[in-house]
Amino acid sequence: MEKIVPVNKPLKMTGVKIELLVEFAVILLAPAIHTYYLWIYKKVDKKELINKVKIFAYLYLLLGLFGVVLILK
């Protein structure tokens, strides 16, 4: 009778990672749409809009880096 030896290979959860990437991208779209709405219809001060764009630019950068790492792995 042969022994079954478990192989300790790391599980590739690429599907889960892609799903998370898409979910975070959709979540990050809401502030961009809201900022666009404020810019077009509410005529909010430009300085306030620039501050919002700066805040979310870092989050988009992190999301992009995560996507690049996911693609290159």
Q: Note whether residue 4 is domain-resident.
A: no
Q: What is the pLDDT of residue 30?
A: 85
**Domain-located, residue 38:** yes
Number of domains composing the chain: 1
Domain holding 44, by residue range, is 15-72
Classify residue 34: in a domain, yes or no. yes
Residue 3 lies in a domain: no
The answer to whether residue 5 sits within a structural domain is no
Whole-model pTM: value is: 0.53
68-71 — which CB contacts under 8 Å span 24+ positions?
A: 70/14, 70/17, 70/18, 70/21
* Position 8 in a domain: no
| Residue 10: inside a domain | no
pLDDT in tens, 44-66: 887 887 888 888 888 888 888 88
48 within some domain: yes
